[in-house]
């Protein structure tokens, strides 16, 4: 889960990318980076932390020119260190190239091992770097041709932006796992992981890149290319459940509307007698609105999220209660006390957070707590760019519904069916990836551990 944004032929390119990254902050808070081409050289700035931590006014002043791109990172492959922050910038026989990537290459470790045996020296442990090595080994007069060749050697999930001394290139994998949308801003072309960044900049969305589409923008010229077609599309439907911002449009649907529809369907599938519907903010908000509409049970903002808690929050060792969840979420006692609550959340991963939230709501005086989840049980890890735990740590992979109910200590528990989820989006059901619920991995997954080089039957990298 990462956010990428780029713009070509705009006088304030770096500032617009900076603002675009602000709108994509929810897709990754581990590191942020930005590179700009000023006509003679690439200027890059990367740092650990959020966009506001990394970019100061003096930094932005240094990043001149009309072409820039940036990245907010949430690691899946590669450790959480500055050297893995993107953009990755290299010098090649074709000139300097910078790259940012949202997704995960399923065969990245295998390609890397092959390249290392042939002498490649990698600067990072990120899978993204293999694309640059493949390009550098196959230089072409037109850098786009080199990219097209490289992309035919990798598989998995990627939405990419590349910056060269000639222009900006955007590419989306043939399965269309991750979103990537093109826009126009004051006559300049721009690209973003999500359309919410365009709203901030006053840019007009020109629609998503098609799966397998590569778009090269050089000045005002736009060229479109197609990678070989994938046999199966695999748009990540979890973007609608959790990752994307509700004010974005993803895969042709408004995320807010999809989430609301999921809640309505959940109320139809798993009704319950209760006094008030309360969302677990933020991603439970729209499903809870839908549940309220579908059940005629009043909606209340009965839980407040503290938006200022960073990933670096340290649990005080001497704590006698769980500050970890409480610092992020707090129930509104007056809305909860003496009432039967329907608590709506987007998913249950390990179950530990759900249990803490249910306990918190009870401690705030709820007489009953009914947990409703707006996606099916998460039973399989994601291998396409989302940082989920290994299978053993997913509560639904090991326990049935009754056992999970006992663990989370709710009065009742129900998940949205897969059919209900897929009925909530407008595309054909088989055009979406659903592997985290079904284990149906449409693109073969890696068997190599990138750190140790040992073979594993199935694992998620760096997710422990």
Cα 368 to Cα 356: distance, rounded to the nearest angstrom: 15
Q: Which stretch binds ligand SF4 (CB under 6 A): 270-278, 321-329, 341-349, 379-387?
A: 379-387
CB of 441 to ligand SF4, least distance (A): 7
- DSSP character at residue 276: E
Q: Considering only CA atoms, which of 268, 244, 267 is closest in space to residue 256?
A: 244
Q: Which stretch binds ligand SF4 (CB under 6 A): 21-29, 59-67, 203-211, 230-238?
A: 230-238
Q: Which H or E element spans position 185?
A: strand 181-185
Residue 288 or residue 386: which is nearer to ligand SF4 going by CB? 386
Residue with tokens 């037109």: 142
Residue 361 or residue 382: which is nearer to ligand SF4 going by CB? 382
Cα 280 to Cα 107: distance, rounded to the nearest angstrom: 36
CB of 378 to ligand SF4, least distance (A): 8
157-184 burial, b at 16+ Cβ within 10 Å, e below that, comes to bbbbbbbbebbbbbbbbbbbbbbbbbbe
Q: Considering only CA atoms, which of 24, 6, 7, 132 is closest in space to residue 70?
A: 6
Question: Rule CB under 6 A: which of 405-434 touch ligand SF4?
Answer: 433-434
Query: One symbol per residue from 129 to 168: x for binding ligand SF4 (CB under 6 A), - otherwise; what is it?
Result: ----------------------------------------
Q: Counting contacts by CB under 6 A, is residue 382 touching ligand SF4?
A: yes
Q: Counting contacts by CB under 6 A, is residue 443 touching ligand SF4?
A: no
Q: Counting contacts by CB under 6 A, is residue 2 touching ligand SF4?
A: no
Cα 382 to Cα 434: distance, rounded to the nearest angstrom: 10
Q: Which residues contact 156 (CB under 8 A, 6 or more apart)?
A: 103, 104, 105, 106, 107, 108, 173, 177, 383, 384, 385, 443
Contact residue for ligand SF4 among 291, 384, 407, 415 (CB under 6 A): 384
Cα 11 to Cα 24: distance, rounded to the nearest angstrom: 22
Q: Which two tokens stand for residue 48?
A: 């650990």
Contact residue for ligand SF4 among 22, 158, 177, 291 (CB under 6 A): 177
CB of 422 to ligand SF4, least distance (A): 11
Q: Counting contacts by CB under 6 A, is residue 236 touching ligand SF4?
A: yes
Q: Which stretch binds ligand SF4 (CB under 6 A): 59-67, 320-328, 378-386, 420-428?
A: 378-386
CB of 177 to ligand SF4, least distance (A): 5
CB of 182 to ligand SF4, least distance (A): 22
Cα 70 to Cα 13: distance, rounded to the nearest angstrom: 11
Active site residue 2: yes
Contact residue for ligand SF4 among 244, 267, 386, 410 (CB under 6 A): 386
Cα 309 to Cα 266: distance, rounded to the nearest angstrom: 30
Contacts with ligand SF4 by CB under 6 A: the residue count is 11
Q: Counting contacts by CB under 6 A, is residue 291 touching ligand SF4?
A: no
Q: What residue ranges bind ligand SF4 (CB under 6 A)? A: 177, 236-238, 382, 384, 386, 433-436
Catalogue the active-site residues.
2
């Amino acid at each position: 889960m990462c956010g990428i944004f780029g713009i070509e032929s705009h006088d304030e390119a770096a500032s617009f990318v900076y603002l675009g990254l602000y709108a994509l902050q929810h897709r990754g808070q581990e590191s942020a980076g930005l590179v700009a081409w000023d006509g003679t050289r690439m200027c890059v700035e990367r740092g650990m932390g959020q966009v506001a931590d990394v970019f100061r006014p003096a930094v932005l002043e240094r990043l001149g020119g009309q072409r820039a791109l940036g990245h907010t990172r949430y690691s899946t492959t590669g450790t959480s260190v500055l050297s893995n922050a993107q953009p990755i910038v290299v010098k090649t026989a074709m000139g300097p190239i910078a790259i940012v990537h949202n997704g995960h290459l399923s065969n990245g470790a295998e390609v890397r091992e092959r390249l290392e045996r042939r002498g490649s020296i990698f600067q990072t442990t990120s899978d993204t770097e293999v694309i640059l090595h493949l390009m550098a080994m196959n230089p072409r007069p037109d850098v786009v041709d080199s990219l097209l060749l490289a992309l035919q050697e990798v598989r998995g999930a990627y939405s990419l932006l590349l910056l060269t001394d000639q222009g900006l290139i955007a590419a989306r994998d043939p399965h269309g796992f991750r979103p990537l949308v093109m826009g126009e801003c004051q006559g300049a072309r721009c690209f973003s992981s999500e359309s919410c960044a365009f709203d901030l900049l006053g840019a007009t969305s020109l629609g998503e890149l098609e799966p397998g589409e590569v778009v090269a923008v050089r000045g005002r010229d736009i060229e479109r290319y197609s990678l070989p077609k994938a046999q199966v599309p695999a748009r990540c439907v979890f973007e609608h459940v959790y990752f994307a911002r509700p004010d974005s449009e993803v895969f042709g649907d408004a995320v807010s509307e999809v989430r609301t529809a999921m809640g309505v369907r959940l109320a139809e599938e798993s009704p319950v007698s209760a006094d008030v519907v309360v969302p677990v903010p933020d991603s439970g908000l729209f499903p809870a609105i839908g549940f309220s509409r579908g059940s005629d049970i009043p909606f209340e903002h009965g839980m407040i999220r503290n938006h200022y808690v960073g990933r670096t929050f340290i649990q005080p060792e001497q704590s006698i209660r769980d500050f970890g969840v409480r610092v992020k979420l707090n129930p509104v006692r007056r809305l909860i006390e003496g009432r039967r609550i329907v608590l709506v959340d987007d998913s249950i991963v390990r179950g530990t957070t759900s249990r803490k939230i249910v306990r918190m709501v009870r401690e705030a005086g709820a007489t009953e707590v009914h947990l409703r989840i707006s996606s099916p049980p998460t039973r399989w890890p994601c291998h396409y760019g989302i940082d989920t735990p290994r299978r053993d740590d997913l509560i639904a992979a090991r326990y049935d519904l009754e056992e999970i109910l006992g663990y989370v200590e709710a009065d009742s528990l129900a998940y949205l069916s897969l059919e209900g989820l897929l009925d909530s989006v407008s595309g054909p059901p088989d055009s979406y990836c659903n592997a985290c619920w079904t284990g149906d991995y449409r693109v073969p997954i890696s068997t190599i551990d990138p750190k140790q080089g040992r073979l594993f039957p199935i694992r998620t990298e760096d997710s422990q």
